[in-house]
C-alpha cells in the first residue's frame, strides 16, 4: 500500500467555479477524515466517514461543501461556487479505528487557490 | 469545546535541546500526539502518549504529560538542521484536534 493519496496536488480555479478533490485512503482503513489547513494555522477538522457513513460535519463545512464516500473506499470533497476564502490546503487522512496509537495517516494534500 | 494552544515560534542552536510546549482543554483525551510538517510536505506522526502515562521516550524525543495542568511537551535532544519544521500538538477525543503549530528554526 502506498499510503493516503490525494488528487490533484494543486488546483487553481476562478471564483464561482466548482471543484472536486479525491482521496484514496489506506485500503484496510475504515475511517476517513477531511481537514483544511490555511497558512500559519493547524489543520481544522471538516468531516469524517466510517465506511460509507458520514458521521460528523464541522460547523466550518458550509452548504457549499459536500463530501461523499460512496463505497467506503475513496472519498470526494466538492466545493461549489468557490470563494477566495476557500483557498487552503485540503488534507485527507485515514485510520483503522477511532482511537489508535498511530493516529491518522495523512496524505500530502490538495492545495486550492481561488483567483 | 476542544482547544489546543502552542507558542508559534522557537529558535535553538544546533546541538542544543528543543522544548516545544502545548496546552489542551479536553480532559477526556485518550491519546495526545506530536506531528511534524516540513515545507511542502504532509503531516508525519512523530510520537504519541497515552493519557495514563507521564513520560515517553523514543530515541531523541521525550514527551512529558502533566494531565492535571493539561500540559504536553516535546523535547528534541541534540537538535539538528533536519529538525527544522512546524510541530503540531494534537489531542484525540472522537477526532484529532490540532494546535496552531510551533515553527522550529535551527541556528548554526
| pLDDT value at B1 more than 60 | no
Instruction: Scan residues 79-108 of B and list those with Cβ closer than 8 Å to A.
Output: 88, 90, 92, 94-101
pLDDT of A98 above 70: no
d(CA A101, CA A110): 26
Average pLDDT of B54-58? 94
**CA-based nearest distance B3→chain A, Å:** 11
Q: How far is CA A6 from CA A85, A105, A109, B36, B53, in A?
A: 21, 12, 6, 19, 35
Q: Which residues in chain A have their CB less than 8 angstroms from residue B100's CB?
A: 40-42
User: A-B interface: how many C-beta pairs under 8 angstroms?
Assistant: 58
Q: Would the CB atoms of A99 and B30 count as touching at under 8 Å? A: yes
Count the Cβ atoms, other than its own, within 10 Å of residue B78.
11
Model confidence at A26: pLDDT above 90: yes
What local confidence, expressed as pLDDT, does residue B18 receive?
97
Instruction: Answer yes or no: do A91 and B90 touch at CB < 8 A.
Output: no
CA distance A27 to B18: 37
For residue B88, the distance in angstroms to the closest alpha carbon of chain A comes to: 7
Tens-digit pLDDT profile for residues A47-83: 999 999 999 999 888 899 999 999 889 999 999 999 9
Residue A99 pLDDT class (50, 70, 90 cuts): low
Residue B42 and residue A107: Cβ atoms within 8 Å? yes
Q: Does A106 touch chain B (CB under 8 A)?
A: yes
Q: What are the backbone angles phi and psi of residue B107, rounded to the nearest 5°?
A: -100, 140
Work out the mean pLDDT of chain A and round it to a whole number. 93
- Tell me the nearest-neighbour CA distance from A81 into chain B, angstroms: 27
Is residue B28 within 8 A of residue B93, CB to CB? The reply is yes
Res B5 pLDDT > 90: yes
Which residues, in sequence order, are bridge partners of residue B77? Answer: none
Query: Residue A103: pLDDT band by 50, 70, 90 thresholds?
Result: confident
* Percent share of chain A, pLDDT over 90: 82
Q: How far is CA B32 from CA A42, A106, B6, B20, B35, in A?
A: 15, 16, 14, 14, 10
pLDDT of residue B42: 85
- For residues B108 and B106, what is the distance between their CA atoms, to the nearest angstrom? 7
Q: What three-state secondary structure class fits A42?
A: coil
Per-residue pLDDT tens over the stretch B59-100: 999 999 999 999 999 999 999 999 999 999 999 877 899 999
Amino acid at each position: 500500500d502506498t499510503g493516503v493519496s490525494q488528487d490533484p496536488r494543486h488546483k487553481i480555479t476562478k471564483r464561482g467555479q466548482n471543484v472536486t478533490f479525491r482521496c484514496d485512503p489506506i485500503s484496510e482503513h475504515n475511517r476517513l477524515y477531511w481537514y483544511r489547513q490555511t497558512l500559519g494555522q493547524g489543520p481544522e477538522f471538516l468531516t469524517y466517514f466510517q465506511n460509507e457513513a458520514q458521521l460528523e460535519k464541522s460547523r466550518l463545512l458550509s452548504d457549499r461543501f459536500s463530501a461523499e464516500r460512496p463505497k467506503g473506499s475513496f472519498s470526494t470533497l466538492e466545493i461549489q461556487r468557490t470563494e477566495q476564502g476557500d483557498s487552503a490546503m485540503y488534507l485527507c487522512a485515514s485510520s483503522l479505528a477511532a482511537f489508535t496509537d498511530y493516529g491518522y495517516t495523512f496524505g500530502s494534500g490538495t492545495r486550492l487557490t481561488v483567483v | 469545546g476542544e482547544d489546543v494552544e502552542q507558542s508559534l515560534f522557537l529558535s535553538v542552536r544546533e546541538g542544543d535541546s528543543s522544548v516545544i510546549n502545548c496546552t489542551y482543554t479536553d480532559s477526556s483525551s485518550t491519546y495526545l500526539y506530536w506531528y511534524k510538517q516540513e515545507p511542502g510536505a504532509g503531516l508525519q506522526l512523530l510520537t504519541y502518549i497515552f493519557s495514563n502515562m507521564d513520560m515517553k521516550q523514543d530515541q531523541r524525543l521525550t514527551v512529558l504529560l502533566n494531565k492535571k495542568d493539561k500540559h504536553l511537551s516535546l523535547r528534541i535532544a541534540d537538535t539538528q538542521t533536519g529538525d527544522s519544521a512546524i510541530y503540531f500538538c494534537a489531542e484525540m477525543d472522537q477526532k484529532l484536534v490540532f494546535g496552531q503549530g510551533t515553527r522550529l528554526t535551527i541556528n548554526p
